[in-house]
Structure formats: C-alpha cells, structure tokens
Amino acid sequence: MTRGPRLLVPTALLVATLGVSTLAVQAVGALEGTSGRDVQADGPDAPAWVSVETANIDEQPVAAEGLTPQGTINPDQGDLIWYTGTDRVVPGQLGTAVVAAHMDYYDEPDVFYDLGEVVEGDVVTVGYGNGQSRDFVVTHTEQLSKEGLQTSPEVWGDQDDVARLALITCDDSLGERQDGHRRANFVAIAEAVDG
C-alpha cells in the first residue's frame, strides 16, 4: 500500500510562562523521505532584511537561525529570523521559507506585533546582501490552532513550484490556555511576484 507524504513530527508554536511570548516551534515537522538538512546562505546572496508596510516593518534585519538546544525555533526579543532546518529553503528560493518573530515579549510589542494586520494582496519585500530585493504578495492569512499549525501543508508541506514565505507569530484570537500559553498562531503566506 502506498501512502502519501505525512508529517512525522508535530509542530507547535507556544507561548512560554511568565508572560513571555516565546515563539517556539517545537519538534519541527518533517515530511517522510526528507533529509532534514539545514540550508545556508552566506555573503551577498543571504537575506538581509524584510519589509512589510502594513505590519509596520521597515527593513527589519533578518537572521538565519536553526533549532535551539531544546529543539525549538525561538528568536530572541526584537529578532526576526528565517528558519534554516527541516528541508526549508532560503527566502526567495523555490519552496517554503519559514520566517518567525514574536508578537510581544513580556507584554511589550515585538517585531511581528502588527503582523495580524496584513491581508491578501499586501506586499512583503525581502532584501539581500547584494543590494537586490524581491517582492512577495500575501495570498492568504489564517489564524490556526496549535494543532492546525502542526499539520499545515502551507507551512510544512513539500512544494517546489513557487518561492513562498510563511510568516508566523502568536495570535490572541482563541485566547489563552490555563497555563497562559496562547491557543493560536497567525500565519501569512506570501508568494514571489515572479514565481
């Protein structure tokens, strides 16, 4: 019997205790048959900044980051990162690049505080060290439960038809659990204007 691709390892974005909005992707999803390799971009071809006018982000520096020793994606306060592991791609390459930042941190607004304001048709621009930039258009946004994010093919699926960004942060739409963790995440999917 032949089975299609399935997520082997669940993904969850969590909010840590003590009111810290630690964006943590735990045990990041990998599709059956993938190598789990890390991606790299150095020098002038590396992404240098991201701009999203409707989210009040103006050429915010972006850094490559893999998993923490605890096995999570967890940007520092004030940082915007693109995730380098689990067969993801460099922003701008064919495939889906995951870009993440906090919405808030100790109740203070952080990089993706206004990400929930973006809508279909908004533009996300990625700038590179070589001085070039590339525009991506938001194709859809959604609030996903933790469980929904774990299996989202838009975020973790294996596609190589278009250069796509999955911008992820926490979301207040479903409130908080008893332990203070948010129940949902906000995801904006954007695809390169030129494919």
pLDDT in tens, the chain (195 residues): 333 333 333 333 333 322 334 454 443 443 333 445 567 776 778 899 999 999 999 999 999 998 878 777 788 999 999 998 877 899 999 999 999 998 888 778 999 999 999 999 999 999 999 999 999 999 999 998 877 877 889 998 888 999 999 999 988 776 666 666 667 889 999 999 986
DSSP 125: E
CA-CA distances (angstroms) from residue 35 to 38, 44, 73, 101? 9, 26, 19, 26
Backbone angles phi, psi at 166, to 5 degrees: -115, 105
CATH number of 12-192: 2.40.260.10
pLDDT of amino acid 52: 97
pLDDT of amino acid 25: 46
Token pair, residue 72, equals 């999570």
Domain segments of the chain as ranges? 12-192
DSSP 30-88: -BTT---------GGGSEEEEEEGGGTEEEEEEEEE---TTSEE-PPTT-EEEE--TT-
pLDDT of amino acid 107: 79
